[in-house]
Structure 1
Amino acid sequence: MATRAIFRTIRGRLTVGTNLTRNAESSRFSKPYSADAATGGSLVEEPEEKDDLRSRIFRLRLPKRSATTVLEKWVGEGNQITVNELREISKELRRTRRYKHALEVTEYLVQHEESNISDADYASRIDLISKVFGIDAAERYFEGLQPPSKTPETYTSLLHAYAASKQTERAEALFKIIIESESLTFGAITYNEMMTLYMSVGEVEKVRDVIKVMKRRNVSPDIFTYNLWLSSCAATFDVDELRKILEEMRRGGGSNEGWARYIDLTSIYINSSRLTNAESRSPVESEKSISQREWVTYDFLMILHTGLGNKGMVDQIWKSLRNTNQKLSSRSYICVVSSYLMLGCLREAGEVVDQWKESKTTEFDGSACLRILNAFRDVGLEEKASDFQLLLVEKKCSLEDEVS
């Protein structure tokens, strides 16, 4: 899936956070004096570092240092370790991309708490092994599991590893085993992994095949399933299919607020951007790192996070798009403006309008803004339409037609 730029942004933020932590620790040990001491007052000692298992492991800055040694020393000092504590530490290490230490924690868990190991623990180990030692090692670990441990969680984890490394043939072979299984029940997340792989390698036509299998096996799609399905249709500019999917979502989505908002926003995007084959023929320079097909996926990823209320992710996606060499299209401006309006972020929507007007490569499209207005009204969001109309007046935007 086209999320490379997003993950680069996230990694950058993590790096900044790590540097800030290091700077804070450096200053902590360099001068343990207060302002009073500097002016002749009494010396004030800094508080001692917290000494618990988590803190000890997170002080291991270099991957070559062993978390296993820390765990064994902790127990040797007479301390207890709970299964949940190990799981939480491993999870946090994964979030901070310290995969080797996370794997060591799970290894300790498996060796010392075998009777308490869950399917999720084995699945986590498969994912971590693939990240630390590679796909082949993860595959060998999975094959070595006892039959009761080969569960939907572990199968899906291995499939995720294949998808992440774009091992299409291996993924398809495993997926065939999954869909032919009579004893195991797989949910939407497993099928989503396969669709994500097809989107990432540009085989968008295969996404519909996965959807057909899901329906044949009566697997209920989730919002991520619909996002991938919509993205595959948008990539081929199949507007009729997009509308059919939205109707299906309306029938089966229930009353979840995020789900309903996602449907409304997708409708606005489709109605206001007028996806056509003609629009897809804009020239793409050879050095661009993002293809037009991936670009549409970015748009729908932004819509997904808007529907879920994740403004921070919308900010990151938009920043990533603007930082690429790819020429921004009117479609992308329509998408991000619609997203910010749905989230009630008028200031951010106004900033995007300014960026659009100031763009030297993408001419501001007043008729597109009018279509956004009408699309909001069509789905009953009159207040947001009025807010956008006032914003356009404030920004002195000239619309192609009169705004009613």
Structure 2
Amino acid sequence: MISLQQHAKRILAHSTKPRLRLFCSNSNETLWASNQVLQNRIESALNHKAKISTVLEQWRQQGNNLNPTLVRGILEKLRDTKRFPQALEVSEWMVERKMCSLVPEDYTARFDLVENVLGFEEAEKFLEKVPENLRNESMYTSLLKSYAESGNKDVDRAEAAFKKMRELGLLLKPSPYSYMMSLYSSVGNRGKVDEVLREMKENNVKLDNLDMAKAYLRVGSKREAREMLVRAEELNDPSSYEELMRLYGEAGDSGDVYRIWNLYKKTREQDNDGFLALIESLLNLDDINIAAEMYYSEYALSGLEFDVQIPTMLASGFRKHGMVQQADILMNKTLRNIRFGNKPITPFLEEWGKMGSQVKPSEFRDLIKNLQDSNKLSIALEASSWFCDQKMINLFPEDYADRLDLTEKVLGLKEADKFFDTSIPETMKGYSVYTTLLNMYTRAHQDVGEAEAIFEKMGELGR
């Protein structure tokens, strides 16, 4: 035991702790290369759920350069990674410290953040405080988008905003018209949709045929929508084929979808997105037999990286039509396929779980191991988490040990510790779990005393 403890100390002393990387080198590379210390401090604050504004304030007080371009870059990165509360915090700090003269784009970004974090009512209040000369087309369009997509469908306020855009000469792009048509469509006001279309024509603002088709579909006019799609098809634009298949799936019939699929194959290299569009469209048309034929005769033989969304979608279609046996056969074959991509697999797991007594836990454990061996750790963690939460399966300490190991590798030591303390039943904290815990502390260069305590616990287990 003493020699093991000494060995653990030596390993801990020479280990390095992994760091969550928020800012990658794909953009702002030069900017971030010259501010590596600030980057590290921000990442550390995110890991510890500390305030980003505190980091920025300390950086500034230490006499470091903090220009508006850099702050806006930080805000943009936070938005891109969906850390909206932190992005709003940076935006508020930038205004409070009067970092620069604000431009309309700053207000538009702030409007979107307020809506994401605090809700639409607060975003409306924020808009009222924005000087009129800084309320640009983008901000009003964001407002219309919110009215169109929100649950309350406030037509009166949307019309007031649309009228204001008209008065200010801001109705120059298709987006505001499109959102108003969407709003009118959602409340069943076909007459207003026609009015918007007429106004667009008068102002020489053109929606493309695909957008026109969507507008007609929103009000249930499938014939007019199909006419627009036929016009779009005449442009022979290969980049539009996936969207055409989906829209024909709403407006046309399986013949339209199959025709576009053949054009797609002639002009583009097949990929998973194309197959998703094809099978989704056929299922929308309730043509389950052709969807199944396309899956088995083309997708299964395509050699593409496996995308679990496709068989999951088809299996759901089978069950919808009462074809339970076909769904189970498909899911069993899919389970044995180890070529999982990087897409979330929870929908597949849930579909697989519907098979009840046919489920073989050993096959699922093999799936987790294959994902680990392929270095698809995030997906392996997703699978392990789902597996451990299923009450229909008898679990072993090794199952929890795998999930603990994956949690540390994907989410970090803090989350792994939390999982160990709160989610692993005491009856499952066997030797394999404590071995995994010790390895975590070794990798993360953590407290030697904690590692020694784990050794002692392992000794108590009789190993």
TM-score, length basis structure 2:
0.48
Name the residue aligned to 1:125. Answer: 110
**What is the rounded CA distance, in whole Å, between the counterparts of 1:318 and 1:158 in structure 2?**
35
Q: 1:188 touches 1:219 (CA, 8 Å); kept in 2?
A: yes
Cα deviations by residue, 1:283-319 (Å, 9 ceiling, x for unpaired): xxxxxxxxxxxxxxxxxxxx9xxx9x99569869999
Q: Does residue 243 in structure 1 map to residue 233 in structure 2? A: no
Which of residues 276, 286, 292 in structure 2 aligns to 1:330? 286
The offset of 1:262, in angstroms, is: 3.4
Name the residue aligned to 2:62. Answer: 77
Name the residue aligned to 1:190. Answer: 176
Name the residue aligned to 1:225. Answer: 211
The offset of 1:124, in angstroms, is: 0.9
The offset of 1:331, in angstroms, is: 5.4
Name the residue aligned to 2:243. Answer: 262
Point out where structure 1 has 5 or more consecutive residues left out of the alignment. 1-35, 276-302, 322-326, 365-404
**What is the rounded CA distance, in whole Å, between the counterparts of 2:195 and 2:321 in structure 1?**
38
**What is the rounded CA distance, in whole Å, between the counterparts of 1:84 and 1:335 in structure 2?**
51
Which of residues 153, 159, 166 in structure 2 aligns to 1:172? 159
Q: 2:275 touches 2:310 (CA, 8 Å); kept in 1?
A: no
Structural RMSD (CA): 4.9
Cα deviations by residue, 1:95-152 (Å, 9 ceiling, x for unpaired): 443322111222233453433x332221111111223333333223222222321210
How many aligned residue pairs are there?
284
Q: Does residue 87 in structure 1 map to residue 72 in structure 2? A: yes
Q: Does residue 215 in structure 1 map to residue 201 in structure 2? A: yes
**What is the rounded CA distance, in whole Å, between the counterparts of 2:50 and 2:119 in structure 1?**
20
Seen in structure 2, the aligned counterparts of structure 1 residues 165 and 263 have a Cα distance that, compared at 3 Å, is closer
Q: 1:90 touches 1:106 (CA, 8 Å); kept in 2?
A: yes
Point out where structure 2 has 5 or more consecutive residues left out of the alignment. 1-5, 22-35, 257-263, 325-463
**What is the rounded CA distance, in whole Å, between the counterparts of 1:202 and 1:139 in structure 2?**
22
The offset of 1:195, in angstroms, is: 3.6
Name the residue aligned to 1:45. Answer: 15
Mapping for residues 261-340 of structure 1, pairs under 5 Å:
262-263=243-244, 266-267=247-248, 270-273=251-254, 311=272, 330=286
Name the residue aligned to 1:152. Answer: 137
State the AA in 2 paired with 1:90.
L
Q: Percent identity?
A: 25
State the AA in 2 paired with 1:175.
F
The offset of 1:75, in angstroms, is: 1.2
The offset of 1:184, in angstroms, is: 2.5
Cα deviations by residue, 1:180-215 (Å, 9 ceiling, x for unpaired): 33532431222233344445x453735454333322
State the AA in 1 paired with 2:226.
R
Q: 2:112 touches 2:142 (CA, 8 Å); kept in 1?
A: yes
Q: 1:330 touches 1:362 (CA, 8 Å); kept in 2?
A: no
Seen in structure 2, the aligned counterparts of structure 1 residues 315 and 350 have a Cα distance that, compared at 3 Å, is closer
**What is the rounded CA distance, in whole Å, between the counterparts of 2:131 and 2:10 in structure 1?**
69
The offset of 1:244, in angstroms, is: 2.0
State the AA in 1 paired with 2:229.
L
